[in-house]
A = this chain, B = another copy of it.
Amino acid sequence: MTETATPIPDTGPAELDDVMAAAAAAAPAMGGLRPARRAVMLRAVADALDAAADELVPVAMAESHLPEARCRSELGRTTFQLRFFADLVEEGTYLEAAIDVADPGWGMGPRPDVRRMLVPLGPVVVFGASNFPFAFSTAGGDTASALAAGCPVVVKAHPGHPHLARLTGRVVAEALAGVRAPAGVFAVVYGMETGQRAVLHPATRAVGFTGSIPGGRALHDLAASRPEPIPFYGELGSVNPVFVTRAAMKARGPEILSGYIGSFTLGAGQFCTKPGVLLVPEECDLGPLTHAVADLAQAPLLNERVAEGFEHRLGELADHPAVEVLVRGVRTPAGWTPTLLRTGVESLLRHPGVLLEECFGPASLVVGYGEEDRLAEVAGLLQGQLTSALHAEEGDAVAPRLLELLSGRAGRVLWNEWPTGVSVTHAMTHGGPYPATTSVLHTSVGATAIRRFLRPVSYQSVPDPLLPEALRDGNPLGIPRRVNGRPEAG
């Protein structure tokens, strides 16, 4: 019996109470630390995770069935992300410090001295994702941005990789203790009911979630039903439709189709950014695409639950009267081979509820269109998306209209690129209108992910020595601030 086969018991209600009470007790100390101290904590966690790679990666591989190279690169992305937030916290713009000095001549009447900054919300509950055991789980983006903001974090381990959660949790907790982080600032809990109780717990001040639409919606509704509703940041599902114009297909057809195959089969199609629908001119010869997909090897899915969900949803699509199966994927002991489906744009427009819904796993739907105007019709009826891509030529008449429509429905709009592989940068958005997320104003990846865990406080006429350092006259933290509405460098 391998270590990962031993079940980890659910966290009981009393133990959860203790964890949440410790998190609540840690919140003022954590929030009161100078940003530079939190940067030290984030870097210590990153270093400890890097140092534990040889211990972590085999557990990740055993529990998620992801290959070693993917696990190692995902761990690298995770520690990069922690260091990225450490830099961000030191730089200080994220505090949004703003000072309006008293002004007796202010247009609506004399104004007092008002100084604003963002402060941490308090304990954050993070739900790990099945498909990113490192980067969207125990020490992933939600945890990194919440700790960076100054919030204690309680991770609800994903049932797909509980042992990795426990091991990662130990590495994180030890690293935090090693740099004297406040006790109680980080913990991992287990069990579905535990997660629900954590969302409803009075000490919880926000929730970060990455997962399915039904699971996320149920937790969103719980969070909204609390006596005190709290922000629920759920990153749920997305079809990530890709629109290919006639001119683009003519100019770069083989390259586009090969990019498509690479993107929709990457990680066995288990990315929230997988292109689930590809719109191509109806005259496009799908023979080479079909052959290339049919030749692909099988890959295991993350776990039995994901596999069951995939088979069910794939059945809905493949059995739909308007859908033709170009390549029927098969299940072997070593995993699934990819499935390729086809339909026409008229059918897509007639049945968007079935055909324009996420299918999580190695399958994608090619949609042939006649007139290019139909692309705008499809774009116009899309639900919220994490991404949408346009493959086009710069002179395409349809391009400006499509870009405008897609930016109205997706958090990220790509040009001649593929949506999988989300970079962690300042300008990244990984979000979008519902059901892509439950919080259309925010992103779960990139610098501004930290905003989700901060709230504004204004201090009116508070004497300088009693102000938070970020707002004092002398700018002791050396951070960028807005003074009387104008930016000033740190």
Contact = CB atoms under 8 A, between A and B. Distances in A.
A456 B411 contact: yes
A217 B7 CA distance: 42
Interface stretch (A159-167, A192-200, A416-424): A416-424
Contacts of A100: 425-428
Contacts of A76: 108
A429 B117 CA distance: 9
Nearest to A108: B80
A455 B427 contact: no
B404 A32 contact: yes
Contacts of A439: 231
Contact of A423 (B108, B429, B431): B108
Interface string A102-114: 0000111101101
Contact of A413 (B384, B408, B459): B459
B456 A487 contact: no
A465 interface: yes
Given A441-B455, A458-B411, A459-B413, A98 B427 contact: yes
A219 interface: no
A484 interface: yes
B457 A451 contact: no
Given A76-B108, A463-B415, A423 B114 contact: yes
A455 B440 contact: yes
Nearest to A442: B456
Contacts of A489: 487
Contacts of A482: 93, 426-427
Interface stretch (A171-179, A220-228, A322-330): A220-228
A62 interface: no
A113 to B, nearest CB: 9
A441 to B, nearest CB: 5
A228 B433 contact: yes
A438 interface: yes
Contact of A415 (B230, B428, B455, B466): B466
Interface string A444-466: 00111001101111111111011
Contacts of A415: 459-463, 466
B462 A456 contact: no
Given A121-B440, A457-B412, A423 B106 contact: yes
A456 B431 CA distance: 8
A407 interface: yes
A93 B487 contact: yes
A324 B107 CA distance: 43
A434 interface: yes
A124 B443 CA distance: 21
B441 A451 contact: yes
A206 to B, nearest CB: 9
Contacts of A77: 108-109
A267 interface: no
A211 to B, nearest CB: 16
A230 B462 CA distance: 36
Nearest to A220: B229
A246 interface: no
A429 B412 contact: no
A321 interface: no
Contact of A414 (B417, B423, B460): B460
5 contacts: A221-B224, A394-B463, A403-B462, A413-B458, A427-B482
Given A412-B458, A416-B461, 15 more contacts: A91-B485, A93-B487, A106-B423, A111-B423, A119-B408, A224-B224, A224-B225, A407-B459, A412-B459, A417-B460, A426-B482, A427-B482, A429-B458, A440-B455, A487-B489
